Amino acid sequence: MATIKLENLTSKFGGMLGSPEVIAVAAAAFLTPLVSPYVTKFAAKVPFLGQHYTMSLIIIAFLVFILASKTSHVAIRAALIGLAGAFMILAISPFVGNYIQSDLK
């Protein structure tokens, strides 16, 4: 009968939590609701972006992607990529929602 050592299990689990993919998804899930109100308030103050919510989120997502590409720390880069991806999803969700609802009718 095979036995599972607790040390091996915790080291594999800890390694998984530190992977950039998990950090990016966690940042998208947990940080986006905290950061999104501040981003939308900032975008509302900019003359052109305040009138175009979707365009402002796309531009902000690209700026965060650029910032992430310039960052050398892996965890911070992964968190920024997760945030930028979440902003991109927020930007395109009205368009996708319209197509999904029209197909369901």
Percent of the chain topping pLDDT 70: 78
Predicted confidence band at 4 (pLDDT cuts at 50, 70, 90)? low
In a domain, 74, yes or no: yes
Q: Can you tell me the distance from the alpha carbon of 88 to that of 105, in angstroms, rounded to the nearest whole number?
A: 27
Number of domains the chain is built from: 1
**pLDDT attached to residue 16:** 67
pLDDT at 82 (0 to 100): 93
Give the chain's mean pLDDT: 81
Q: Per the domain annotation, does 69 fall within a domain? A: yes
Are 56 and 43 a contacting pair, CB within 8 Å? yes
Could you tell me if residue 46 is inside a domain? yes
Residue 59 structural domain: 20-104
| Cα(75)–Cα(96) distance, integer angstroms | 30
Closest CA to 32 of 97, 85, 92: 85
pLDDT at 50: 77
Q: Is residue 9 part of a domain?
A: no
7 within some domain: no
31 domain-assigned: yes
Cα gap 45→51, rounded to integer Å: 10
Give the rounded distance of the alpha carbon of 30 from its chain centre.
9
Report if residue 11 sits inside a domain. Answer: no
What confidence tier does 102 reach under pLDDT thresholds 50, 70, 90? low
Residue 100 lies inside a defined structural domain of this protein: yes
